[in-house]
A and B are shown apart, each in its own frame.
Chain A
Amino acid sequence: MPRSEKWTLADRLDFEALVAADERATDLAAIAARDARLWEEKIAPSLNAEERSNRATVFHRWLEARRPGEILPGKWFTSTSRWFNASAILAGLVLGFAVASGALYYAGERPVNIAVFLAVTVGVQWILLLWTLVVMLSSGIRATSQHLLARLGEGIGQALASVADHLSGERRMRLRAELATLRQLSGRNLQPLVWTPLLALQSFGVFWNAGVLLALLARVLFTDVAFGWESTVANSPNGMYALVKALATPWLLFGLNFCPSLEQVEHSWFHYQSGMAALDRGATVSWWPWLILFVFVYGMIPRSLLRTYFRTRMRLAMRQLSFDEPRHRAAWHRLTGPVIHSNRPVSEATPSSQHGFTATSVTRAQIGCLLVDTSLVSAKGEIEQWVAKQLGWKLACSEVVEVDYPSGNDAALARVAATLPAAPCWLIAVPAPFTAFSAFTQFAARVGALTNETTKSEGFVVVVALDAQGKPKAPDPEWMRYWSDFLRAEETGCVTFSYAP
């Protein structure tokens, strides 16, 4: 994604919602006409030649053009995440302040135990962080948690399958297609969503530490408080002093000499037997700068670093998002698709597209292979013309295949394989009605394997019906819908078109 186009998570959500809605639409001609109009009137005029071939830029403009009048999740997501983040900040500040205030309770009978104070304010955070680290690093725990998640997913899957079994064929296929889309969304394209709650969690942590520091400062500045340490097993203050000094190393290195001396440590060692009278007031007070720096260095800074890390990861994830899912490519071809004059001489007049709009070429003519099912052989010529006209392809080869016979078609597929390096796009023309879907899945997998071996290629499917005379016509919308759902559910990665004469 180019840096010039700033995609936010809200943008991406809105974009995915729009392309997903288009994918479910039944009136394909209407959405093609809409996109052709948007391209012509709003997108193309504002872009230069280089920008027109950049999907991120084009799609961003398309999104901006479509947003007015649409109810989209991005705005809702933005306000919700802001609210969520603000709540996390407020909750962190209030809870940190409250917990620290409780730990700083002092009524003159015994000093505030610094170990307890640090345990409930900073220690808890470290325990949670360490636990997260253990989970991330420990293969056993990770495997167990993954196993549990898998079992949960399996249970949900079985429940859905039993529900789906009561649905009609087309509804079950619709459900499968929607689940496949959700899987794709959650798998890659909406990964940045995961970082949103993690960022809020780090905001909570940062402001928890801020609350702790505020409570500590308020207590020290405006009330009388004494700090001390206790131990049953210690024989001398030397060990405690060494520990305190070691912990203060980070700020001592920067010349901030805020660390109790050995005498101060010794005179803030509380024993119930001796009581408060045995402690030195100066020594008990001397701890507070050390405590503030401790909370700052071991609490505030790690959480701030983590927050920065998550924010960076989220930005990186946003940059790594691509636009190569079938639904994205379908939208791309709608926008730039009716490439009518792309491979014609410049002097030739630009004919109108089927929707009455004058299409502007944005891509060079691609070279592709056409595979026509044997049942459509009577319409092969028209289909070839349609491909050339609607997709702007120059056909490197056009073969007749039996899509219900995956292991057959050797000769035709060998010719396709020979052509593919120079022709990275392939399109299968399939009939509607059609029933051998499992066979087609296997056939498409074979074609996919063949083309992936050769080159990184793009696959398309065009659904064609025949009239009584064997001429091609647009398929029945229900069959088109079923084909489209089936290809989504099988995650073939193919863009689906409806033939329109």
Chain B
Amino acid sequence: MSTNDLPVIAILGDVNHGKSSVVATLAEDDSVRIGAFPTTTQCQRFRVRDLLEFVDTPGFQNAREALRELKEAGTASNPLSVFRDFVARHKDDRFFVHEVRLLEPVLEGASLLYVVDLAQPLEPRHDAETEILRLTGAPRIALLNQTGEPRYRAEWEARLRQNFSTVIDFDAHRADFSNRLALLEALATVDLAGKAKLRKAVEVLKQDREDKLDTTARIIVDLLSDLLTDKHVEALRDPLRVAAQRREVEERFREKLIAHELEAHREIIRAFAHQRVAVNEDGAREWLSDGLFVERTWSLLGLSGWRLLAAGAGGGALVGAKIDLMFGGATWGLGAAVGGAVGGGAALAGSRTAPGFKARLPYFSRAIVGTELVAGPIKHDNFPWIVLDRALGIFVSVSRRAHARQDRETLDAAALAARLQSTKAGSDQAPDDLRRTLAKAFRDMRKNRFNDDQRDATVGALREWLREVSQ
């Protein structure tokens, strides 16, 4: 525990074994500097809210020499005093600058995570490192990271089990939320002094995760609600140039929808604190290289034919059923059957084609100056499902993406569809209940009958789905 009473967790290890990657993933902070070469001679601290502090330490660079002087800690009544003497003695010694710095959090009473890379061979200096950490007597866990083929797993495991009671596999570039929690819980079991605070931190992080899921669900539902009712209206300027202004209005409407979707995607990314992930203005290029109204998007995303048919038929049948009711049932359900067939057929026919943006004049009005040209809202049946799939694609990418990753990801429509398929996060893979709830919500949104209660219910259903697919 540190002087500021926060549990401090120091991440130690050899240079280039993945310490900074582990810190980035654990602290959910992609601003951590990661590099193949010794990146720093200073400890860098990353606070996770007011719950925990992770310390990225410089790698060991002279462990064998340091161990020669620290060995006496094994027989000393106060082992840490030996470490303090070492730090004081070598404060300005260029040969031990890294060891002096990395021992600072140890002397503060931090718990230790020792990171090793299973792709790199075990060498005598690593024995010295583990021995130094053992001599500190601090609560410690060894993390088995892997930056490549884990060729040296057996050697590492055998050696680490001699000096660490807990050895955990932790791939910093693939670890998800549950891996992070498991690690903290493991740490709570070895750190008796910080146990209560670490457990509390785990609980708060779980709640924090729930909040993120809830935020994302609300962003997606609000986006859908807005896009399904959005339209663009402009007064006609020149009756002789109706066609030209119509094209302008259509283009502005298209841009408005794209910008709206882009902003929602950015909010989702922000919710998961990914700073390195950017969404560009020009068609969300960073994550989704194919824009919202690109044909490929429409041919690959959204509901597949039969599912859309079912959703469309449901809507049509509902209208038909109402007609049946108007006639007191005298139509023998014919209305519902015809409505279902018409609705389903219409949905199936146009499901895989991007919608047009025809700006129109109001019915029965003449093209005179001041008459309103209207573009939208988009009536296409697959439109909300496509918007939903794109948002889900962003969600599964950022929620599963470890903050240690330095690469930039770009998905075209095919890759996005494949990812949704593999993570079972697409609207096509959603449970029937959820799909029915959403289909009804979309109908109500389009009719401006989507009230707050319905919104909360939809958000709740979507949040459950998000939790499931983010694991």
- Give CA–CA (A433, B94) in the complex, Å: 21
- Give CA–CA (A157, B302) in the complex, Å: 59
- Give CA–CA (A168, B38) in the complex, Å: 9
**A438 surroundings in chain B (CB, below 8 A):** 61-62, 94-99
Within 8 A of A (CB), among B83-117: 94-99
Task: For the complex formed, measure the closest distance between the CB of A477 and the CB atoms of chain B, giving whole angstroms.
Answer: 13
Q: Given A402-B124, A404-B64, A433 and B36 touching (CB < 8 A)?
A: yes
Q: Are B37 and A169 in contact (CB under 8 A)?
A: yes
Within 8 A of B (CB), among A466-483: 478, 482
Binary contact track B113-128/A, C-beta < 8 Å → 1, others 0 = 0000000000111000
Within 8 A of B (CB), among A142-188: 165, 168-170, 173
Q: Given A404-B125, A405-B124, A438-B96, A168 and B62 touching (CB < 8 A)?
A: no
Within 8 A of B (CB), among A385-438: 402, 404-408, 433, 435-438
Binary contact track B20-63/A, C-beta < 8 Å → 1, others 0 = 00000000000001011111101000000000000000011111
Size band of the B side of the interface?
Answer: 20 to 34
**B289 surroundings in chain A (CB, below 8 A):** none
**B64 surroundings in chain A (CB, below 8 A):** 402, 404-405, 408, 439
B241 at interface by CB-CB < 8 Å: no
Closest A residue by C-beta to B97: A438
Greatest chain B CB density within 10 A among A165, A407, A436, A478 is at: A436
B408 at interface by CB-CB < 8 Å: no
B366 at interface by CB-CB < 8 Å: no
- Give CA–CA (A66, B65) in the complex, Å: 46
A360 at interface by CB-CB < 8 Å: no
Q: Are A407 and B95 in contact (CB under 8 A)?
A: no
Greatest chain B CB density within 10 A among A170, A405, A435, A437 is at: A435
B14 at interface by CB-CB < 8 Å: yes
Q: Are A478 and B36 in contact (CB under 8 A)?
A: yes
**B61 surroundings in chain A (CB, below 8 A):** 435-439
Q: Are B59 and A407 in contact (CB under 8 A)?
A: no
**B124 surroundings in chain A (CB, below 8 A):** 402, 404-405
**B59 surroundings in chain A (CB, below 8 A):** 435
- Give CA–CA (A108, B138) in the complex, Å: 96
A169 is contacted by which of B35, B95, B99 (Cβ under 8 Å)?
B35
A203 at interface by CB-CB < 8 Å: no
**A437 surroundings in chain B (CB, below 8 A):** 38, 61
Q: Given A404-B64, A408-B64, A441-B94, A436 and B39 touching (CB < 8 A)?
A: no
Q: Are A165 and B33 in contact (CB under 8 A)?
A: no
Interface size on A, residues (CB 8 A): 22
Closest A residue by C-beta to B37: A169
- Give CA–CA (A201, B42) in the complex, Å: 46
- Give CA–CA (A402, B124) in the complex, Å: 10
B15 at interface by CB-CB < 8 Å: yes
Within 8 A of B (CB), among A205-245: none
- Give CA–CA (A173, B15) in the complex, Å: 15
B146 at interface by CB-CB < 8 Å: no
A170 is contacted by which of B14, B35, B63 (Cβ under 8 Å)?
B35
**A436 surroundings in chain B (CB, below 8 A):** 60-63, 125
**B35 surroundings in chain A (CB, below 8 A):** 168-170
Instruction: Name B's A-contacting residues (CB within 8 A).
Output: 14-16, 33, 35-40, 42, 59-65, 68, 94-99, 123-125
A-B contact pairs, 20 of them (CB 8 A): A165-B42, A170-B35, A170-B37, A375-B123, A402-B64, A404-B62, A406-B65, A435-B14, A435-B15, A435-B38, A435-B61, A436-B63, A438-B96, A439-B61, A439-B63, A439-B95, A442-B62, A442-B65, A478-B36, A482-B37
4 closest pairs, A vs B, by CB?
A435-B15, A438-B61, A169-B37, A169-B39
Beyond A169-B33, A438-B99, 12 extra complex contacts between A and B, CB < 8 Å: A169-B38, A169-B39, A404-B64, A433-B16, A435-B15, A435-B38, A436-B63, A436-B125, A438-B97, A438-B98, A439-B62, A482-B37
